Amino acid sequence: MATLTDSGITVSLEFRFSDADEAIAIYSPRRFSRIDGEYIQLPWEGHFRDYQVRGGMRIPMYGEVGWYEDDTLQLVWKGNIIDAQYQFGR
């Protein structure tokens, strides 16, 4: 579980890791979704896989995210990373 607070807004996410210590899923029981012009909170989840080293960091090359409606994950985005570049701060 990770909890972050910024500018008075606090969010918590549950991370799930593989045996190789890769974040394979992120879950929130209440994340805002816009449905029919209104914002409601629904369970949200993301899945990640195909970790590779890019720019000196190990990152997932595939991800998908969505909200749960009627206990079924409805994907709203999925994609493959084709390139990644990083500029590390000092």
For 25-36, what is the mean pLDDT?
92
Could you tell me the residue range of the domain that residue 29 belongs to?
Answer: 2-80
For 40-61, what is the mean pLDDT?
94
Residue 45 domain-assigned (yes or no): yes
Q: What is the pLDDT of residue 24?
A: 97
Residue 67 domain-assigned (yes or no): yes
Check whether 90 has a pLDDT greater than 80: no
Gap between the Cα atoms of 45 and 84, Å rounded: 23
Helix, strand, or coil here: 1? coil
Residue 87 domain-assigned (yes or no): no
**Per-residue CA distances from 8 to 11, 31, 34, 41, 83 (Å):** 10, 17, 22, 19, 34
Residue 72 domain-assigned (yes or no): yes
Residue 29 domain-assigned (yes or no): yes
Q: Which residues of 32-59 are buried (b: 16+ CB within 10 A; e: fewer)?
A: ebeeeeeeeebbbbbbbeebeeeeeeeb
Check whether 60 has a pLDDT greater than 80: yes
Identify whether the C-beta of residue 46 lies closer than 8 Å to the C-beta of residue 25: yes
Q: What is the pLDDT of residue 72?
A: 95
Residue 46 domain-assigned (yes or no): yes
Residue 21 domain-assigned (yes or no): yes
Check whether 85 has a pLDDT greater than 90: no
Query: What's the domain count of the chain?
Result: 1
